[in-house]
Amino acid sequence: MTDFPYPGLRPFEKSEADIFFGREEQVDVLVDKLAMHKFLGVIGTSGCGKSSLIRAGLLNALEAGFLASAGFQWRFAILTPGSDPMKNLATALIDKDALESEIMQNEHSFGLLQASLESFRGGLVDIVRQARLPKGTNLLIVVDQFEEIFRFHHHVSIDQAEAFVDLLLFASASKEIPIYVVLTMRSDFLGDCALFPGLPEALNQSQFLTPRLTRKQRSEAIIGPASVFEGSIDDGLLNRLLNDTGTSPDQLPILQHALMRMWNTCTKKPLHLNVDDYIRIGTLKNALSNHADEAYNDLTSDQQYIAEILFRCLTERSLEKRDTRRPVKIREVANIAEVHPEQVIAVIQVFSSPYCSFIKLPGHHELQADDLIDITHESLIRQWKTLSQWTEKEAGCAETYRRLLKTAQLWKKGKAELWRKLDLEIALEWQSEHHLNHHWAARYGGDFDLSISFLSKSQELNEQEQAAAKKAYQERAMILFDAWLTHASLHAKIEDFESARKVLAQTRELDPEIPATRIHGRNMLAGYVHLMGGVADKVYEGAGASLKCVGTSPDGKLLVAGGESGVVALFDAEKGTLIRHLKGHTGKGIEGSVRAVVFHPHGKWFATTGDDTRIIIWQLPDGDKIREWKAQKSMNALALTADAKTLISGGDDQDITFWDVETGAVLKTLKGHDGLISDLALSPDNKMLASASYDYTARIWDMETGKMLHSLSRHTAEVVRVAFQPDGKRLTTGSKDKTIRLWDTSTGKTTAVLEGHKNAVTGLAFSNNGRSLVSGSFDRTLRVWDVESGITMRLFQGHTAGITKLIETTGYLYSAANDGTVRQWRVPDYYQTNAIKDGIQFIDCEDEPNSTSISHQGDKIAVGYATGALQVFSLPDLILLWENKTSHSSNIKRIDFSLDGNYLVTASFDKTATLWKTDTGKSIQTLSGHSYAVHAVAFSPDCKTIATASYDGRIGIFKIGVENGWFQEAHEGRVYSVVFNSKGNQLISAGVDGNIRIWEIETDHIQLVKEIKASNENIMWASISHDDKQIVCGGRDALVHLLNAKTGTEDAAFVGHENTIYRAEFSKDGGMVATVSMDAFVRIWDVSTGNTLFALRLPTNSGYPTPLWDFSFQATPEGRQLIAVPLTRGKVVIYDLGVVFFS
């Protein structure tokens, strides 16, 4: 008798007949069929109770003598085919309930028994005959889970499988020996029986299709066992269980499990199960899965890994996608999991306890590594959700391996290629997700080493092909990147900065394939393009015609634009929206254009005029017409006196007419031009009037007398625009000859000619301080000029047609154009002294600056003067931190900051160098001993040593804190430069002899290591790259020489400068070189191509014999690139190119 009324998932055993209810009628049918044929196939769906029906029903019925013709003496050999059917049959035959006492004579008996079974089809009959069973004793062979023979047939041996079946069929057909055979088999395997000759015929003769239990039978199976154990089932629970079992193929095992679970967890005495107990276990739907999960979750993480491997080994999905159980040895699980068998046994014991019964153990109690274990019932696979997932996972894993194995075997024979692309990707993902070994692979065909070798070779080939493809793609990307970079550089060279910006934007999509040094070069060029180019802050649209003039109210709130077909459009200047069109002017197309607008100085009204000869006064803010009058001919220009009483016009009649604003009466007329008047301008003090004319001249008139003061006649085409400088000392004119001229208003002499526009200059406006000038042109661009030097500081682009008029007011510039728009631009004030704005900034100097240096931290800039004065400013706000006007008695030629920023050192023509404390400006040490000017100075990387280069032909070495240095004859004549390498153990010097020399620094001297003949001319400067691989130098030959530091050979010579190069420096990454020359250009070179990325033309007057001597090219820790140039005309210009280098 069993210890529990319900066995759970496992089948009922022969000893559990006392709790086996509801099958009595079915047992009678089995006995009758077996009596007729000695062979019986018990067929049914998984979970229908086939095994229990045989074990607890049929076996007990036979022993009870229900098969009268055979008597009641029976021996039973019960087995499953498993992975070795013959051995399992032999094992079953020597069981104590079978033939153990008759056939087991010694230790060799089992081997002889198995050999007899395998020898011929009558082997089983022969064994039973020789056993000499007592008279009237029968042998029943029960082959449970007969469907396992089909797996054995497919995966192990067809011959052995056929021999096993034939052995059984022959034995059951024997009339001499009383051998009976019963098979239990899942009904979905019936079709597979055709694999074995004679088996379908035998089943057709004697087959029992296991029926579903009726409601009454199920009720007996539920109530009966409980009553045996003096327990009871609540009627409500009984009905709920009967209803919930439904049509599921797993109805009986999950019902038995639920009943076992409720019985084992119920705490009521006497035991009485009700619906609450049922709900507590999760009902039939979840009880099994919940129970298994509880057991699994109680395991350690290591045991959970073993449990997954265990159950994946215990299940199998057939080629027909049927999930079945698969008996397995403990050792196999341990080998696959790569753990000791004892660890697997510990997990098995959890899932095989009487309270779980998920795993079926062999008959003996102590588990051994070679013991075969099995899942108690296949319903566990379907009902335990976690196991279902593991089974799916294992099936997918196996499918991939079989495909891998098959391909690998074909590859070995030269009939398949290595995997690529998707096949390889799937396989590599499979390999990374599953920890597999050859023990696991043996289950699916073996050859694990071959398969993994094939996969590795495939991966190697793939990596090689990917590397080759990546290299090819990168090469193509580099070609495209370089082409775009060159294209952008060419756009920048011709000052088409908007096109350059668009091309550079395209390069960014290639960044992942481009080396950092090339990206940094692009970023440097992009910084320059941003520095020089500009776009509008606001665009005013809606005028509906090509525009010829623009004006704003004094408070900057309203904007008026006039254009073709009599258009006068009133805009909200702040919002950029059209307020209304004003009706008054007449005419169509270009010949009906409104060409001039002028505002009352207090914003009360504005006046317009144009081709229709009308002069109209408009009320503000509504724009209503106040009055109008007509001139003799078309009008092109207007000016208004400061008292707003007199309006001045000029037009096609070639006269300048003064009008009374209140009456429209002519006050006076100025004559003298021989062509139409295109523009008028009053001086700030209203004492002078300037006029521009198509007679190629501009004229300056005395407002009081009407007398012409000067006729300005140097233009070679029509003069289109005039504008006074805010102080009235200079007048600027713009012409169709594409030039701008600056005139001295007191003498009428040209002071400067500005060239750069590619078409007629049609707009002019000075900045408030008069130091910069903005011009507009039919070439669609606006240029910001430095008035003193004539250099273009910035180029604005955006108009799609020629610009017709400019005005400057309230810090903004407005341009009207033939594209029908007005655009608002913010013009940078490059001359503020408290901040770097828009990338360019000036320091105005009282004396002549000769040298400069930016600290490595980018937070300070030092300026040295020809007078020997020294100043240090903060960056970026340019606040003077300290100065020493007598730091040296002569010109400071070079300055260098220590790498940590704590010190700076100055080199002077007074034959000394001086060490300074950066934060306080205190002089720390005077470095003396040279007999001639010190031209260059440098800090070692560790900030402890200073090197000097002197016109006396020597290099000086000074230790900080040590009074005296020591000196080395270095060049034949002047030494122009000296720098340390990155390690600080070598010096690189350049001199008047055209040589570069590399010196090894010893304890008390320097040793010449290499001499490089770089040029036949003076070499003014040499620098070494941060990786110490290349040297760049330049001098009087105007070439930039790039040298191999190791071999001394010339890698390249860059051509571009037109005069002596004073200094050359590598960029932070070594990918670029910056040079500065007497030709007043800073050039940035791309080291890899030798091309000029861009050239900064420095704002300097040609009147100075030498415009500059030095520059500083410094990247900040954040990657911003700064360039500072001291100009001998009395300025230091600082360029901020933005973030160029990314860490």
Q: What is the CATH number of the domain that holds 610?
A: 2.130.10.10
Instruction: Provide φ and ψ at 107, rounded to 5°.
Output: -70, -15
Q: Provide the 8-state DSSP code for 54.
A: I
Cα–Cα distance for residue pair 1032/1019, rounded to 1 Å: 10
pLDDT of residue 765: 96
Best CA proximity match to 1062, nearest among 1034, 1083, 1042, 1090: 1034
User: pLDDT tens, 525-551?
Assistant: 999 999 898 889 999 999 999 999 999
Cα–Cα distance for residue pair 861/873, rounded to 1 Å: 5
User: pLDDT tens, 427-464?
Assistant: 999 999 998 999 999 999 999 999 999 999 999 999 99
By 3-state DSSP, what share of the chain in percent is helix, strand and coil, each rounded to 5?
30, 35, 35
Give me 759's structure tokens. 């078409």
Location of structure tokens 């004539």: 790
Whether 76 and 184 share a structural domain: yes
Q: Which residues pair with 232 in a beta bridge?
A: 272
Q: What is the pTM of this model?
A: 0.68
Residue type, 925: Q
1143 has a pLDDT exceeding 80: no
- Beta-strand (E) ranges in 364-427? 372-375
Give me 736's structure tokens. 């169709």
Q: Which residues pair with 1052 in a beta bridge?
A: 1042
Best CA proximity match to 987, nearest among 995, 977, 999, 969: 999
pLDDT band at 986 (very low <50, low <70, confident <90, very high): very high
| 410 part of a folded domain | no
Cα–Cα distance for residue pair 1108/986, rounded to 1 Å: 29
Whether 674 and 820 share a structural domain: yes
Q: Which of 4-8, 700-704, 838-842 has the highest mean pLDDT?
A: 700-704
> Strand pairing of 137-143 and 179-186?
parallel
Mean pLDDT of the chain: 92
Cα–Cα distance for residue pair 509/25, rounded to 1 Å: 81
| 573 part of a folded domain | yes
Q: Is 83 helix (H, G, I), strand (E, B) or coil?
A: coil
pLDDT of residue 827: 80
1103 has a pLDDT exceeding 60: no
**Helix 341-351 to helix 283-297 angle, to the nearest 10 degrees?**
150
Whether 664 and 808 share a structural domain: yes
> Strand pairing of 315-317 and 708-712?
unpaired
Whether 571 and 704 share a structural domain: yes
Q: 360-369, 922-931, 1129-1138: which range is least confident on average? A: 360-369
| 170 part of a folded domain | yes
Cα–Cα distance for residue pair 785/778, rounded to 1 Å: 17
Domain boundary among 826, 842, 860: 826
| 329 part of a folded domain | yes
pLDDT band at 1104 (very low <50, low <70, confident <90, very high): low
pLDDT of residue 834: 42
Instruction: Provide φ and ψ at 223, rounded to 5°.
Output: -80, -40
Best CA proximity match to 555, nearest among 577, 576, 575, 573: 573
Whether 108 and 220 share a structural domain: no
Average of per-residue pLDDT across 1123-1128: 92
Q: What angle do CA 946, 1082, 989 make, to 5 degrees?
A: 30
User: pLDDT tens, 477-511?
Assistant: 999 999 999 999 999 998 899 999 999 999 999 99
Let me know: does 192 contact 183? Beta carbons within 8 Å.
no
Whether 140 and 180 share a structural domain: yes
Best CA proximity match to 359, nearest among 293, 289, 413, 311: 311
User: pLDDT tens, 667-687?
Assistant: 999 999 999 999 999 999 999
875 has a pLDDT exceeding 50: yes
854 has a pLDDT exceeding 90: yes
| 646 part of a folded domain | yes
Instruction: Provide φ and ψ at 328, rounded to 5°.
Output: -145, 150
CA dist list (Å): 165 to 78, 79, 121, 191: 15, 13, 9, 15
Give me 692's structure tokens. 């521009």
User: pLDDT tens, 33-73?
Assistant: 999 999 999 999 888 889 999 999 999 999 999 998 888 89
Whether 139 and 181 share a structural domain: yes
pLDDT band at 291 (very low <50, low <70, confident <90, very high): very high
Domain boundary among 212, 238, 262: 212
pLDDT of residue 664: 95
Give me 465's structure tokens. 């092909």
Average of per-residue pLDDT across 286-291: 93
| 1064 part of a folded domain | no
Instruction: Provide φ and ψ at 698, rounded to 5°.
Output: -120, 150
Location of structure tokens 């760049």: 1032
836 has a pLDDT exceeding 50: no
pLDDT of residue 810: 74
User: pLDDT tens, 1013-1071?
Assistant: 999 999 999 999 999 999 999 999 999 999 999 999 999 999 999 999 999 999 999 99
Whether 37 and 97 share a structural domain: yes
CATH number of the domain bearing residue 133: 3.40.50.300
pLDDT of residue 104: 73
Domain boundary among 191, 212, 233: 212
Whether 350 and 381 share a structural domain: yes
| 291 part of a folded domain | yes
pLDDT of residue 1005: 87
pLDDT of residue 833: 47
294 has a pLDDT exceeding 80: yes
| 801 part of a folded domain | yes
Whether 223 and 155 share a structural domain: no
Best CA proximity match to 755, nearest among 703, 705, 792: 792
How many other CB atoms are found less than 10 A from the CB of residue 880? 12
Q: Which residue has the higher pLDDT, 291 or 789?
A: 291
Cα–Cα distance for residue pair 1030/943, rounded to 1 Å: 23
Cis peptide upstream of residue 134 (ω within 30 degrees of 0)? no
H-only helix segments in 413-557: 421-433, 438-442, 448-493, 497-507, 516-532
> Strand pairing of 730-735 and 739-744?
antiparallel
Let me know: does 142 contact 79? Beta carbons within 8 Å.
yes
Let me know: does 1072 contact 1091? Beta carbons within 8 Å.
no
Q: Which residue has the higher pLDDT, 786 or 606?
A: 606
Cis peptide upstream of residue 621 (ω within 30 degrees of 0)? yes
Whether 169 and 228 share a structural domain: no
Q: Which residue has the higher pLDDT, 106 or 654?
A: 654
Output b/e per residue, 923-947; b: 16+ Cβ within 10 A.
eebebbbbeebbbbbbbbeebebbb
CA within 13 Å, CB half, 243: 8
Task: State which residues form the domain around 779.
Answer: 538-826
714 has a pLDDT exceeding 70: yes
pLDDT of residue 1100: 67
Average of per-residue pLDDT across 181-203: 94
User: pLDDT tens, 512-523?
Assistant: 999 999 999 999
| pLDDT more than 70, % of the chain | 98
pLDDT band at 524 (very low <50, low <70, confident <90, very high): very high
Whether 142 and 251 share a structural domain: no
Average of per-residue pLDDT across 824-851: 77
Cα–Cα distance for residue pair 292/289, rounded to 1 Å: 5
CA dist list (Å): 979 to 174, 896, 941, 1028, 1121: 109, 10, 10, 12, 21
pLDDT band at 2 (very low <50, low <70, confident <90, very high): confident
pLDDT of residue 452: 95
User: pLDDT tens, 381-401?
Assistant: 989 999 999 999 999 999 999
Average of per-residue pLDDT across 945-961: 96
Average of per-residue pLDDT across 346-374: 87
pLDDT of residue 835: 43
Considering its fold, how many domains does the chain have in total? 3
User: pLDDT tens, 600-628?
Assistant: 999 999 999 999 999 999 999 989 999 99
Average of per-residue pLDDT across 965-982: 95
| pLDDT more than 90, % of the chain | 79
